[in-house]
Amino acid sequence: MSTRIRPKVLMAGTAVLALVLAGCGGGDSAGTSAGTGGLKGDPIKLGSILTITNPAWSNGSVKTVNEAWAAHINGDLGGIGGRPVVVESCDDHGDPAKTSQCLNNLIDSGVVALVNNSSLAFGANALPAMEKAGIVNIGGWPVTADEYRSPYNFPATPGAAGSYPGLAVYFAATGAKKLAVAYSNTPSGQLVGQALKKQWETLGGTGYFMTEFDAAAADFTPTISKIASERPDAVILAVGEGAAPRMFQAVKNTGLAAKVGVSSTAGTQKVFQAAGDAAEGILYAFASVPADYDSEDARTYRDVLKKYAPGLDLTGQTAVAASSMQYAYDTLSAVKGELTKESVLATLQEGKPWKGLLTHGTDPKNAPAEMPQVTNPYMLILEYRNGSFVPATIQDPGNLSQYIDIQGDLAWIAGNPPKS
Amino acid sequence: MAVLQFALLGLGLGGAYALLALGLVTIYRGTGVLNFSQGAVAMICAYVFFALRDGLRLSTAGAALLAAAFAVVLGLAFYLLVMRQLRNSPVLARIIATLALLLLLQGLAMLLFDVQTRTPVSVVPATPVDLLGIAIPMDRLILAGVAVVLAVALSLVSRRTRIGLAVRAISDSEKGASLSGLSPVLIGALTWAVGFVLAAVAGVMLSPIAGLDAKALTLLVVPVFAAALIARFTSFGVAVAAGLGLGMVESALQLVTDAEGAWYTWLWTGPGRSQALPALVVIIAMIFSGRLLPARGEVVRGRLPISPPPRYRVAGPIIALAAGLAFIFSVRPSWLSAGVVTLAGVMIALSAVLVTGFIGQISLAQVAFAGTGGMLTALLSSAGLPFLLVLPLSGLVAALLGLLAGLPSLRVRGPSLALVTLSAAYICQVAVFSDGRLLGGQGYNRVASPALFGLELGGTGFAVVTLVIVIVTGSLVAALRVSTFGRRALAVRENEAAAAAAGIDIKRFKLAAFTLSAFVAGVGGSLLGYQANVFAFERFTIFESLHVIAMAYIGGIGMVSGALFAGLGASGGLFSQLLATWGADSYQLVIAGGALLLAVQLHPDGMAATLHTIRERRGRRSSPAPAAAPPDDGKDRSAPAEPSVPVK
């Protein structure tokens, strides 16, 4: 070999060796949960892909709940079959490349399932790879259409797009005839607009208007003014936490008189502080009961998080996260034989209903036609008034009462009537 | 609602564009640099202001003074430490330096401040006022007013003060101004400081309207450039008028750009149609006017990095194949995926080497071509077409788009062409890739698993196939460089007039370059789609385009090895995976931005070019031979040392 080529070969070889050593070695960048509760067995590894460092949406609280509930499972419930549960969370920054990277690294680290996936980028970018790897996701907050259809995704609540059908039913049941919808300018957002249009016609609505917005737009006033010019009776804003304050302010500034509904992801203290009185009267679709609700589930929820995550602000998102972790625990505990990704999938595919925690129970027989993986399409509609949430009532739902399931003093509303 | 009323609603948008454009124009007038980081500077100054006012509870005036001081220091530091050193560097190096600052500032904002979008309380009243029957928040009107007042003030300073005249003198003839005793360095420092203060004003006023986060204002780059371009980067008044106008028209267009419509209305109905307007304005204005960036009388003519003939054209591919196979068969699946992403990144960067490195056309649309390939891959693979057919077909469709995108290159060059291609990429991003209707009724974007001769390719198999494709493409690009095509390409790159006089059909050459490079990028996008089994439309943004060109430049955009460096730095590639393994991925932007800033100064022609220069010097020292023919490396050794007539 010529002397000129040797240094280049050496350099290439060194670079490859370095990458191979890094690639073969262990170590992961994800945060792992502490608190194995003194359990000695091989840990059961679960992964969680979360968007945390992103302007539009932060699920740092979900990561906290993952770790806290794992500590509760290990410390108070004895783990699963005597083995501690460990949740490795990965922040994908809402970035398509990073979300795939998170998934690949979690798979490499040997997780038997994902739990609580709550990511802006996952559904559109890494879901096919998750399916190809044969790994399921339990619970979480689905965002894209594919997450609602994937046979490997098992949300216990309706998630983002799944919230809006329930809101539409509420508006129809309270007399609205014309509905306006604003959604983000993404393919998933467009599907939300189209799906709601079909649903509104089914519900007997006589007018429908939809428009898109760019979440990064410098000013939402033109979009909201366009909606206001249509004079709708009700408006659904498919907006996240990041853009919600400016949307609410635009609603207030334009004097839009219609009732406005959003999903619970926009129901956080940050939004209320930023929006000020512009958040008054906004309707929220929650997948879970309020944190201060008087029930055994809610008490368990409050106690666990007080013990393992004191100081955590309890929101709709933390409630769904706790519910998802409990769903994962109940599912994994029901697995017969060795706990592998295949046995977890098989257990979930049995399609047994789950009673829920803080949420309505699941009913696999009554999944919505366009969201076959959502076996709990029920939401609670709450209105934000004077710093707290109050239930939004329906005086007389008429022929829409089939969409409503009254449990105690709670009126759970689904976006589709039950099949049975 | 009347069109006029709707247009008035766009004053907020327009005010944002106008304020940011003022800073752009100021900096260009003083130093001839297109500052891609103007939005990022606005963002970081806004963070500083609101941290001082809301966090430390300073008064608004006190916070404003300190934020302005911060902007001045940042502007001076950036000019004196970075841009001044790059005065003799290729024009692309100066653009990339501003990109590096953008990345660095975004990374710092994410590390130092809460990255989630905040909506701070406005510094001016925001109660709605009734104007022609509609309610407009007062702060939008004040914003527009401030932009107008600043434009008037800057125009007066420019015409009536010695400093203003000095800036104009430097712009017309730097050498002449120097001979008159004016210091270009002083003027440069001043204009960057003023430009950054204008960005600070924009950031503070805009954040309550647009939201404050690490990305918000940086994403306005295309509309802001459109406004500055209409003003020819010269007139403050026209920049503000253009900014306000663009915002108002964009708002008024919402009356006609509905969310849905029959297929024959898709041109104006659907996502992103009104946002695409500023980009369309840029393209049309450039094509019809031919030139909107005024010539500058710089002492040193802008040039492109060197492009030496490739060495190791046989050994290189063999080493790459051996190293690649060793890697593929020994690493864990997560690293294998990162490796495939790197290889796809190399393909996209090779397309940049072709069109920019060899032919000298600064194209910022390479990732858009890749996205086109990815989109076609999703459609064709869903229709059941096999992998071996989908790959070239996707490349072909991307090539058609490349041919279209290459048309403006017949009229404009250099930074002007960069802006046109960036605008084309922006249109693809906002109005094409995110339009679910183009992916079938369900907006379905899945890509079937690749198969060869009926056998599904697993992760390892696909990686091997990708490696072979990339090595073959790299070899072909290297072979092109030393072919007649390559020599003619360099001739076109160095002096189009001389090349035309020598009988080269410049138009056909440029179009061929764009077409070929788009084909290569399209195949790269297709490979990315097969790797992820999905068309991830959010991967093909203008910022990814800028990232690719920056990384390719640092590696050496005139050389195949430059593409390798760009691939390593691709989002989701090997470097990113390494950072994730070390738990340092939250520092990625800061590391990338800082490294780019250093690299662009230490290696203004690219790292591979620096190695080539070192090798040349060693070769000359070890064997001093009689004077030989000048090496075929793309350097313009015939250029005189004296300043020449500014080239278009």
Structure tokens belonging to residue A89: 């969370």
Which has the higher per-residue pLDDT, B252 or B56? B56
Q: In a 3-state reduction of DSSP, which class is residue B152? A: helix
Helix, coil or strand: residue B495: coil
Confidence at residue B523, expressed as pLDDT on a 0 to 100 scale: 97
SS (HEC) of B97-135:
HHHHHHHHHHHHHHHHCCCCCECCCCCCCCCEEEECCEE
Q: B200 in contact with A at a CB cutoff of 8 Å? A: no
What's the confidence (pLDDT) of residue A279?
Answer: 94
Task: Tell whether B449 lies on the interface with A, counting CB pairs under 8 A.
Answer: yes
Per-residue pLDDT at A2 exceeds 60: no
Residue to test with chain A: of B334, B375, B564, B622, most A Cβ within 10 A: B334
Round to whole Å and give the CA distance between B54 and B60.
Answer: 9
Cβ-contact B405, B424 below 8 angstroms: yes
> Counting beta carbons within 10 angstroms of the beta carbon of residue B45, is it exposed (0 to 12), middle (13 to 18) or buried (19 or more)?
buried
On whether the CB atoms of residues A52 and A91 are closer than 8 A, the answer is yes
State residue B147's pLDDT score.
94
Task: Name residue A12's amino acid.
Answer: A
Residue A88 has pLDDT above 90, yes or no: yes
Contact yes or no for A328/A46 (Cβ under 8 A): yes
Confidence of residue A224 (pLDDT cuts 50, 70, 90): very high
How sure is the predictor about B257, in pLDDT bands with cuts at 50, 70 and 90? low
Q: What is the mean pLDDT of chain A?
A: 89
Maximum pairwise Cα distance, chain A: 89
Cβ-Cβ contacts under 8 Å, B12 against chain A: 218-219, 221
Chain A residues with CB-CB distance to B209 below 8 A: 218-219, 246
CATH architecture of A28-157+291-350: 3-Layer(aba) Sandwich (3.40)
Q: Do A55 and B216 touch (CB under 8 A)?
A: yes
Question: Is there a contact between B436 and B443 (Cβ–Cβ < 8 Å)?
Answer: yes
What do you get for the CA distance between the two ends of chain B, in Å? Answer: 46
B300 touches chain A (CB under 8 A): no
Q: What would the 3-class secondary structure string for chain A be?
A: CCCCHHHHHHHHHHHHHHHHHHHHCCCCCCEECCCCCCCCCCCEEEEEEECCCCCCCCCHHHHHHHHHHHHHHHHHCCCECCECEEEEEEECCCCHHHHHHHHHHHHHCCCCEEECCECCCHHHHCHHHHHHCCCCEECCCCCCHHHHHCCCEECCCCHHHHHHHHHHHHHHHCCCCEEEEEEECCHHHHHHHHHHHHHHHHCCCCEEEEEEECCCCCCCHHHHHHHHHCCCCEEEECCCCCCHHHHHHHHHHHCCCCEEEEEHHHCCHHHHHHHHHHHCCCEEEECCCCCCCCCHHHHHHHHHHHHHCCCCCCCHHHHHHHHHHHHHHHHHHHCCCCCCHHHHHHHHHCCCCCCCCCCCCCCHHHCCCCCCCCCCCEEEEEEEECCEEEECCCCCCHHHHHHEEEECCEEEEECCCCCC
DSSP letter at B540 equals: S
Positive or negative torsion for Cα B536, B539, B541, B542: negative
Residue B444: the pLDDT is: 57
Least confident of A194-198, B224-228, B365-369, B595-599: B595-599
Token pair for A52:
């945390």
Rounded to 5 degrees, what are φ and ψ at A382? -120, 145
Domain range list for chain A: 28-157+291-350, 161-286
Would the pLDDT of B99 be above 80?
A: yes
User: ipTM for the complex?
Assistant: 0.87
A22-26, A119-123, A343-347, B158-162: least confident range: A22-26
Please give the distance of CA A94 from its chain centroid, rounded to a whole number.
Answer: 14
Q: To probe the interface with A, which of B332, B367, B575, B618 has the most A CB atoms within 10 Å? A: B332
Looking at per-residue confidence, does A216 or A420 come out higher? A216
Judge contact between A213 and B211, C-beta under 8 A.
Answer: no
- Do B576 and A98 lie within an 8 Å CB cutoff? yes
Per-residue confidence at B626, pLDDT binned at 50, 70, 90?
Answer: low
Question: Nearest 5°: CA angle at B128, between B123 and B133?
Answer: 150
pLDDT band at B495 (very low <50, low <70, confident <90, very high): confident
CA-CA-CA-CA dihedral for A112, A116, A121, A125, to nearest 10 = 30
Q: Is the pLDDT of residue B304 over 80?
A: no
* Confidence at A21, pLDDT banded by 50, 70, 90: low
In chain B, domain spans:
3-116+134-251, 315-610
Q: What is the per-residue pLDDT for A130?
A: 96
Lowest mean pLDDT among B217-221, B291-295, B323-327, B349-353: B291-295
Q: How far is residue A205's CA from residue A234's CA, in Å, rounded to a whole number?
A: 11
Is the model's pLDDT at B373 over the cut of 70?
A: yes
In chain B, residues with a C-beta closer than 8 Å to the C-beta of A194 are 260
Class of the CATH domain delimited by B315-610: mainly alpha
Question: Looking at residues A1-19, what average pLDDT do you find?
Answer: 51
Q: What is the pLDDT of residue A5?
A: 46
Range name among A131-145, A146-160, A319-333, B206-220 with the lowest pLDDT average? B206-220
Please work out, in degrees rounded to the nearest 5, the angle formed at the alpha carbon of residue A43 by the alpha carbons of A39 and A45.
140
Give the per-residue pLDDT at B646: 37
Alpha carbons within 13 A on the beta-carbon side of B520: 29
Fill in the DSSP letter of residue B502.
Answer: T
CATH number of A161-286: 3.40.50.2300
Q: Is the dihedral of CA B150, B155, B156, B160 positive or negative?
A: positive
User: Are B473 and B556 contacting, i.e. CB atoms less than 8 angstroms apart?
Assistant: no
pLDDT at residue A298, rounded to an integer? 95
Question: pLDDT tens digits, residue range B403-458?
Answer: 999 988 888 888 888 888 999 999 999 888 888 777 765 555 889 899 988 888 98
Chain A residues closer than 8 Å to B136 by CB: 221, 253
Nearest to B515 by CA among B400, B414, B408, B428: B400
Taking 60 as the threshold, does the pLDDT of residue B645 lie above it? Answer: no
- The 10 Å CB-count burial string (b at 16+, else e) for A304-334 is bbeebbeeeebbbbbbbbbbbbbbbbbbbee
Tens of pLDDT, residue by residue over A349-373, are 999 999 999 999 999 888 888 889 9
* A28-157+291-350 and A161-286 agree in CATH topology: yes
**Would the CB atoms of A191 and B445 count as touching at under 8 Å?**
no
For range B491-511, the mean pLDDT = 86
Of B135, B211, B337, the CB nearest to A246: B211
Q: Which residue in chain A has the smallest CA separation from B446?
A: A128
List CB contacts (< 8 A) between B211 and chain A.
Answer: 55, 242-243, 245-246
In Å, how far from its chain's centre is CA B595? Answer: 17
The two tokens of residue A54 are: 């992103």
CB-based contact, B147 to chain A, within 8 Å: no
B128 touching A (Cβ < 8 Å): yes
Q: Highest-confidence range of A4-8, A395-399, B122-126, B474-478, by mean pLDDT?
A: B474-478
The amino acid at residue A188 is S
- Give the residue on B whose Cα is nearest the Cα of A269: B118
Per-residue pLDDT at B453? 86
Contact A245 B538 (CB under 8 A): no
User: Is the Cβ pair B259, A211 closer than 8 Å?
Assistant: yes
Which chain A residues are Cβ-neighbours of B126 within 8 angstroms?
249, 253
Mean per-residue pLDDT, A239-261: 92
pLDDT tier at A166 (50, 70, 90 boundaries)? very high
Place of tokens 């706990």: A339
Greater confidence, B59 or B3? B59
- Quote the percentage of chain B above a pLDDT of 70: 89
Q: What angle do CA A8, A10, A12 make, to 5 degrees?
A: 70
Q: Do A105 and B580 touch (CB under 8 A)?
A: yes
Cβ-Cβ pairs closer than 8 A, A with B, add up to 252
Q: What φ, ψ does residue B296 adopt, rounded to 5°?
A: -120, 145
Taking CB atoms and an 8 Å limit, are B533 and A132 in contact across chains? yes
Average pLDDT over residues B575-592: 87
Question: What is the per-residue pLDDT across A261-320, written as a single tens digit (0 to 9) for each?
Answer: 999 999 998 899 889 899 999 999 999 999 889 999 999 999 999 999 999 999 999 999
Q: Tell me, what's the pLDDT at A18?
A: 53
Most confident of A199-203, A290-294, B493-497: A199-203
Q: State the pLDDT at residue A376.
A: 93
B515 pLDDT band (50/70/90 cuts)?
very high
Across the range A175-197, mean pLDDT stands at 91
Q: Which of residues 241-280 of B touch A (CB under 8 A)?
A: 250-251, 254-255, 258-260, 271-272, 275
Residue range B4-12: average pLDDT? Answer: 85
B210 touches B16 (CB < 8 A)? yes
**Rounded Cα distance, B356 and B338, in Å:** 26
Query: For residue B203, what pLDDT is reported?
Result: 93
pLDDT tens-digit profile of B168-184? Answer: 777 666 666 666 676 77
Lowest mean pLDDT of A9-23, A347-361, B589-603, name the range: A9-23
Residue B392 pLDDT level (bands cut at 50, 70, 90)? very high
Residues 6+ apart with CB under 8 A from A347: A331, A334, A335, A336
Q: How confident is the model at residue B71 (pLDDT cuts 50, 70, 90)?
A: very high
